[in-house]
Amino acid sequence: MDRTIGTLIKIAVPIVIGVVVILILNSITSASCLNDFEGCLVDGGMDTDLAGLIAISLGVVLVATFPLLVTILLIWIERKFAARIQDRIGPNRVGPIGLVQPLADVVKLLGKEDITPAGADKWLYNASPVMMVMSVLLIWAVMPLTPYHYGIDLEIGILYFIAVASIGTLAVIMAGWSSNNKYALLGAFRVVAQLISYEVPLALALLVPVMLAGSMSMVGIVEAQAGMWFLFSAPIAAFLFFISSQAETGRAPFDLLEAESELVAGYNIEYSGMKFAMFFAGEFMHVFTNGVLMAVIFTGGWYGPFAREAPLLAFTYLMLKSGFWYLLSLLMRNALPRVRIDQLMTFNWKFLVPLSIANLLMTAFLLKLVQEGGLAPSPEEASDFIANIPQTVVLFLGNVALAAFVMTLIRNQGREERLAEDAGEPSDLTVTPAPAGD
């Protein structure tokens, strides 16, 4: 009994303290130079253009530095979480509960010798890790962090995200080629095949929230979820986006390419020291960015009670939601076995792509039906929860029907395979080993 109370107190007290601190900080920062930096500079007598330039540069530096700093925390979260799932403790020597461990990692990687393999193309070899990290950082430019603070509100935010994600594949090929190592090159080919295959269901799944919101801009998508999260209107699209984004970053169960036994054939085998650290940090940052994107596109971003009055609270909501999705992807990583490369390709082209096309067609059809049938909420009541329910129910039922149909197909196919196997014929799923002595 007192253990329960003790645990409850351990959870509740930090939350209460945290909320109070956030509200105090918010009231301090809302009326000062921190919110209107440019105005502050101009009042101080600086030239208007120069003040504008400095304000924009400061914004750019802040938006670009935030994910890099968060990555340091993510390394610790990842290792502790993985350790607890595997029934061990995780890093606990360096600093209280191991919090300083990432810094120790960074110091170790900085101290390593920075070699370039003989015969490698020096310029490309050094530029590939930079391109990899760049392709992740550029996504943060369009991320709406609070109702009033975001890098830029592009009219084509979602398309920008997909375009920037395809730069990462270029970085992988350059890394594999410039290492002057044919196993690295082969590994890079396989990684690129996986990455470009999973871009297709990613893009098709992202079209569904664009249709529901009527705009490709990230800020527009967050604003359109005022009434109802898109997670409830389009659960299949959320599932598709989650799975495809896990495969895009090379995260388990799709991490064939960085598995310990495959490292001889990995594209980053010739990298050591800080350059390897950039690939490593880029991958962590990419997983967190995917979590934030899941939160922004499907679960309402910074929405929550009192979000508009207290921007810091809105930011906290965003971080909580993206932390949930991030921990979900960590759970997937630590609990599921790895898939083979041919299973990966089959899964994508024979399951995800037809499902995403069918989902898109069905959602378009149902949305038009809802709008013609008058069930859609009118623009005045778009942010009312009750008014959004009819449209959400129709779309949700459509998704459920599609999922049931797909499950029936899979179940029938599975039954056929099982019957064929019982009758003694080999199936596609088993791999007959090559006869020895070939």
Partner 1 sequence: MTFGDLTYEAFAFGFFTILTLGGALGVVANRNLVRGAVWLIVSLFGVAGYFVLLSAPFLAAVQVLVYIGAIGILFTFAVMLTRSMTNLNERYNQQWWIAAVTSIALFGMLVLLVILPVFGEQETAVSDVVATTADLGVALVSGDAYVLPFEVASLLLTAAMIGAIVIAREEE
Q: Which residues bind partner 1 (CB under 8 A)?
A: 49, 52, 121, 124, 154-156, 159-160, 162-164, 166-167, 169-170, 173-174, 177, 185, 189, 192, 196, 199, 216
Comparing CB distances to partner 1, the nearer of 106 and 170 is: 170
Comparing CB distances to partner 1, the nearer of 6 and 354 is: 354
Cα 86 to the center of its chain, rounded Å: 24
Distance separating alpha carbons of residues 204 and 207, to the nearest angstrom = 5
3-state helix/strand/coil string of the chain: CHHHHHHHHHHHHHHHHHHHHHHHHHHHHCCCCCCCHHHHHHHCCCCHHHHHHHHHHHHHHHHHHHHHHHHHHHHHHHHHHHHHHCCCCCCCCCCHHHCCHHHHHHHHHHCCCCCCCCCCCHHHHHHHHHHHHHHHHHHHHHCECCCCCECCCCCCHHHHHHHHHHHHHHHHHHHHHHCCCHHHHHHHHHHHHHHHHHHHHHHHHHHHHHHHHCCCCHHHHHHHCCCCCHHHHCHHHHHHHHHHHHHHCCCCCCCHHHCHHHHHHCCCCCCCCHHHHHHHHHHHHHHHHHHHHHHHHHCCCCCCCCCCCCHHHHHHHHHHHHHHHHHHHHHHHHHCCCCCHHHHHHHHHHHHHHHHHHHHHHHHHHHHHHHHHCCCCCHHHCCCHHHHHHHHHHHHHHHHHHHHHHHHHHHHHHHHHHHHHHCCCCCCCCCCCCCCCC
CB 147 within 8 A of CB 314: yes
Comparing CB distances to partner 1, the nearer of 199 and 283 is: 199
CB of 49: closest distance to partner 1 in angstroms? 5
CB of 142: closest distance to partner 1 in angstroms? 11
Comparing CB distances to partner 1, the nearer of 51 and 318 is: 51
Comparing CB distances to partner 1, the nearer of 158 and 278 is: 158
CB of 214: closest distance to partner 1 in angstroms? 9
Comparing CB distances to partner 1, the nearer of 107 and 130 is: 130
CB of 168: closest distance to partner 1 in angstroms? 9
CB of 163: closest distance to partner 1 in angstroms? 4
Q: Encoding tokens for residue 402? A: 């599609």
CB of 316: closest distance to partner 1 in angstroms? 31
CB of 172: closest distance to partner 1 in angstroms? 10
Comparing CB distances to partner 1, the nearer of 154 and 393 is: 154
CB of 350: closest distance to partner 1 in angstroms? 16
Comparing CB distances to partner 1, the nearer of 17 and 196 is: 196
Comparing CB distances to partner 1, the nearer of 78 and 199 is: 199
CB of 164: closest distance to partner 1 in angstroms? 7
